[in-house]
Copies of this chain bind each other. A is one copy, B any other.
Amino acid sequence: MSGEEAPTQQQPPEQEKKPEDPPPAADAPQEPGGSPATPAVEEKEVKAEEEKPVSWRVLVLTGHGGYDKVKLQVKTQSKPPQLKAGEVLVRVKACGLNFAELLGRQGLYDLLPAPPVTMGMEGSGVIEAVGDDVEDRKVGDRVIAMSRCGMWQEMVVVPVNRTFLMPEEMSFEEGAALPVNYLTAYMMLFEMANLRPGKSVLVHMAAGGVGIAATQLCQTIQDVTVFGTASASKHETIARGGVTHPIDYRTKDYVEEIRKISPKGVDIVLDPLGGSDTQKGFSLLKPLGILVVFGAANCVTGQKKNLLAMAKTWYNQLSLNTLKLMQSNKAVSGFHLGHLSDEELISSAMFKLLELYRQGKIKPCIDSCYHFEEVAEAMKRMHERQNVGKVILLPEPKKEEEKPKSAAEAGENEGAINKKEEEVTEEVKAETD
């Protein structure tokens, strides 16, 4: 499907000259309950005591298009972060890469402000400063942080209620991998779809972040059958992870394969694809079954916006009326974490997920870690669906002698990534305090 060659050349970071440059995420939507992560560069009066200049590395989406639109920059400002009441400053150690960011780069993600903007919805790190009225966090706490966008930078300011204390045994990479994928899977399976013992679930892209999270969460309920689509090379891994019936969607018709095993179909379909796959999913539902659409990955073909793919996807999209639903006794729902502004729902689900992690029932699967310099490769890996589990971005600069920390568990795909070890001629000023 992807006919375009992805550029693998890494962009040198652009040194920001203006110390008072507006922060990349300042345009992010201020929706109720979810204020965006913003670097602490507010134009407030600065207290005289701390006037140390700060710099931080940040990935900036400079326009819509291919991989080259995401540029590494180093921002500098003369003033230290000014925290409002209830905010904390987090030094980010790892960020999650999500499908939403592939869409965002192409200009297909409606929740992302116009470029220039910093993407990223999840990360983990260490609290470096706390604002007034912050009682349950202190400097040095290891936290997961969430935001609508703006997480792909070395330092972020977030409201304290968008941070979650990490269990001791959790790595930063795991922390960054948890929120979006596991919240999405959790909400879909338990809030929307009412997963119960004995049910069956179709998980598309079962080796992807949400796919693995959903499979693990299915294991927490007795006797759940998981049909998982993935390319054949990933079957062993996903079967080990709990997929009852791995299906190679590239060589087989998954509808037929499922019907062979379960003629009546399945109870729950989790659909990140859209288009004709949504129709297939609907047709596969048993009576009283539910289809949860949570993406339109079929829109993403080449690395740039593909109007034809979009048109095709939407043309084939399930069109519904309630009569059709009544005649088939089926349910269709949509889930999009970015559109969920109820902080209470999110927090409550996060606490449950962290508890499941502590109990050893879930564990994020890290596919690979890329430094900010390598963001194009990271996106390409996800775009081409080579990942098994989560792709992580690391703000810290790549050391020249360092081996690439990637594809540890997905060795079969490693060759597919063209890792040019080009020198990045940047002057990194981050981590100053």
Given contacts A288-B187, A329-B334, A331-B333, contact A321 B321 (CB under 8 A): no
Q: Which residue of B lies closest to A324 (CB)?
A: B334
A342 in contact with B274 (CB, 8 Å)? no
Q: Which residues of B contact A332 (CB under 8 A)?
A: 320, 322, 325, 331-333
The B-contacting residues of A in range 121-170, CB under 8 angstroms, are: none
B288 in contact with A345 (CB, 8 Å)? yes
A319 at interface, CB cutoff 8 A? yes
Bound-state Cα–Cα, A290 to B290, Å: 11
Q: Which residues of B contact A193 (CB under 8 A)?
A: 194
A352 at interface, CB cutoff 8 A? no
A308 at interface, CB cutoff 8 A? no
Q: Which residue of B lies closest to A194 (CB)?
A: B194
Q: Which residues of B contact A322 (CB under 8 A)?
A: 274, 278, 293, 317-318, 332, 334
Binary per-residue interface labels of chain A (306-349) against chain B in the complex, 1 for a CB within 8 Å, 0 otherwise: 00000000000111111111111111111110011110010000
B286, B319, B323, B345: the one within 8 Å of A287 (CB) = B345
Q: Which residues of B contact A317 (CB under 8 A)?
A: 321-323
Shortest C-beta distance, A235 to chain B (Å), equals 28
Binary per-residue interface labels of chain A (172-195) against chain B in the complex, 1 for a CB within 8 Å, 0 otherwise: 000000000000000100011110
A99 at interface, CB cutoff 8 A? no
B331 in contact with A287 (CB, 8 Å)? no
Bound-state Cα–Cα, A368 to B194, Å: 37
Shortest C-beta distance, A309 to chain B (Å), equals 15
Bound-state Cα–Cα, A325 to B340, Å: 12
A326 in contact with B331 (CB, 8 Å)? no
Q: Which residues of B contact A357 (CB under 8 A)?
A: none
Bound-state Cα–Cα, A217 to B32, Å: 35
Shortest C-beta distance, A123 to chain B (Å), equals 23
A294 at interface, CB cutoff 8 A? yes
B288 in contact with A192 (CB, 8 Å)? yes
Task: Rank and list the top 10 A-B pairs by shortest CB-CB distance, nearest first.
Answer: A325-B334, A331-B333, A326-B334, A194-B194, A293-B322, A326-B336, A320-B320, A191-B288, A327-B339, A329-B340
| A286-B342, A320-B320, A329-B335 known, 17 other contacts, Cβ within 8 Å | A192-B290, A192-B331, A193-B194, A287-B342, A290-B331, A290-B333, A292-B331, A293-B325, A293-B326, A296-B323, A317-B322, A319-B321, A322-B332, A329-B339, A331-B331, A331-B334, A332-B332
- Sample of 29 A–B contacts (CB below 8 Å): A187-B288, A191-B194, A278-B322, A287-B341, A287-B345, A288-B340, A290-B331, A293-B325, A317-B322, A319-B320, A319-B321, A320-B321, A322-B334, A324-B334, A325-B332, A325-B333, A326-B335, A326-B339, A327-B336, A327-B339, A328-B334, A328-B339, A329-B333, A329-B334, A329-B335, A329-B336, A329-B340, A331-B332, A332-B333
